[in-house]
Amino acid sequence: MFELWPSQPLLGGVLIGISAALLLAFNGRIAGISGILYNLLFNPLSSPERSWRLCFIIGLIGGGYLMLPVEFELRQDYPPILLIISGLAVGIGTRIGNGCTSGHGVCGIGLMAGRSIAATAIFMASGILTVTLLRNFSG
């Protein structure tokens, strides 16, 4: 049913914005996925601090699961080494840079934080450079 909707990216983006606004307005928290995940995994937290993060992550995966009628072609046989290097780089980069697409790109820019605007410009440029190199100089 979803492929009939005129602009899925726009609709999805608005939902993401609403989600971030909701968490900020009610709980005073930034909906930054990498930060929420790392705090949960690596930092000793009090029970309430742990619980809301866990709820958010469970919601995130559950919300994605509920929408799975959205269909797209499933990638197969992607080189495992690229997935592993990618995971390592995303982990190291988002931890050291204090945020990912959600924290910097959606929340931080919304708050007009110069740090987040810079981070977003840099990870977009770096992502474009990487895909361009990957697609033109590998088999």
Partner 1 sequence: MQRLIIALISGLIFGAGLVISEMTNPIKVQNFLDPLGNWDPSLAFVMGGAVAVTLVASRFIMKRKTPIIADRFYMAVQNTIDARLIFGAGVFGMGWGLSGYCPGPGLINTMINPTEAMLFLPALIVGGWIGQRYSA
Within 5-24, the residues that bind partner 1 by CB under 8 A are 7-24
Q: How far is the CB of 139 from partner 1 (least distance, A)?
A: 15
As measured in angstroms, the least distance from the Cβ of 73 to partner 1 is: 7
Can residue 46 be called a binding residue for partner 1 (CB under 8 A)?
no
Binder among 4, 25, 44, 139 for partner 1 (CB under 8 A): 25
Q: Does 75 bind partner 1 (CB under 8 A)?
A: yes
Q: Tell me the closest approach of the beta carbon of residue 47 to partner 1, in angstroms.
A: 11
| Strand, helix or coil for residue 101 | helix
User: Does 45 participate in binding partner 1 (rule CB under 8 A)?
Assistant: no
In sequence order, what DSSP letters do the residues of 43-97 get, joined into one string? S---HHHHHHHHHHHHHHHHHHHHTTTS--PPP-S--HHHHHHHHHHHHHHHHHT
For the chain, the C-alpha Rg in angstroms (whole number) is 17
Question: Dihedral, CA atoms, 34, 78, 1, 22, nearest 10 degrees?
Answer: 0
Q: Mask of contacts with partner 1, 92-111, x by CB under 8 A?
A: xxxxxxx-xxx-xxxx-xxx
